Amino acid sequence: MRFTVAIDGPAAAGKGTISRAVAERFGFAHLDTGALYRAVGVKGGDPVEAARALCPADLARDDLRTGEAGQAASKVAAIPEVRAALVQFQRAFARREGGAVLDGRDIGTVICPDAEVKLFVTASAEVRAHRRWLELGGDERAVLADVRERDARDMGRADAPLRPAEDALVLDTSEMSIDAAVAAACDLIEARL
């Protein structure tokens, strides 16, 4: 059985939590595509070469979740050759036997335009910054500035900008609990399986 769930949205909207819950519930494999860009961003050197040579050890680094890695990721993610180098791996993952959930920025629009289920998970910048701050600590205003800067870069780039696919279900988790968002996602998948 091949079945692809595409989950896109801005930083700290709840994509990762929803993706992991959905993958567990349906027994699908999960790929956090942001980790690919983070790994390229923290590797240093020529980002295009880093993307072409990406290997499992790069994805196992402990420093991928930091704010700096997120910023570095969004810079290299604006380079078309970096994105191109990562397309094939993501598409092969999406069509693997047994079902797959991919979360990122361009899964429903570019990587898997034919995904069986597309979700766009979002929330206000303030709510997302608060969540990131609870997770990482530091100065909350600096985290908000960081979130806004990354949003602007991800939405403003020419290649694969962050935006909902036309046929995506939009879930705004500003007011909605993550449990309710997971339930909505599971209902939609059930209906299409």
Site membership for ligand C5P, residue 109 (CB under 6 A): no
If one asks whether residue 18 binds ligand C5P (CB under 6 A), the answer comes out as: no
Q: Does 33 bind ligand C5P (CB under 6 A)?
A: yes
Which residue type is seen at 23?
A: A
Q: Which is nearer to ligand C5P, 3 or 37 (CB)?
A: 37
Angle at 148 between CA 158 and CA 118, to 5 degrees: 60
Of the candidates 39, 77, 94, 100, which one interacts with ligand C5P according to CB under 6 A?
77
By CB under 6 A, is residue 105 in contact with ligand C5P? yes
Candidates 188, 192, 190, 5; CA nearest to 94 is 5
Q: Which of 13, 21, 47, 106 binds ligand C5P (CB under 6 A)?
A: 106
* Cα–Cα distance, 185 to 190 (Å, whole number): 9
Q: What is d(CA 155, CA 160) in angstroms, rounded to the nearest whole number?
A: 9
Which CB sits closer to ligand C5P, 46 or 190?
46
Contact between 101 and ligand C5P (CB under 6 A)?
Answer: no
Q: Which of 70, 115, 119, 121 binds ligand C5P (CB under 6 A)?
A: 70
**Closer CB to ligand C5P, 38 or 131, in the complex:** 38
Q: Is 6 in the site for ligand C5P (CB under 6 A)?
A: no
Q: DSSP character for 65?
A: G
Give dist(CA 141, CA 132) in Å, integer.
Answer: 11
Q: How many residues line the site for ligand C5P (CB under 6 A)? A: 14
Residues 134-153 that bind ligand C5P (CB under 6 A): 150
Distances, alpha carbon 44 to alpha carbons 69, 74, 85, 139, in Å: 11, 14, 16, 26
The reply on whether position 43 binds ligand C5P by CB under 6 A is no
For 155-172, the three-class secondary structure string (H helix, E strand, C coil) is HHCCCCCCCCCCCCEEEE
Q: Binding residues for ligand C5P, per CB under 6 A?
A: 11, 33-34, 37-38, 70, 73-74, 77, 104-106, 150, 154
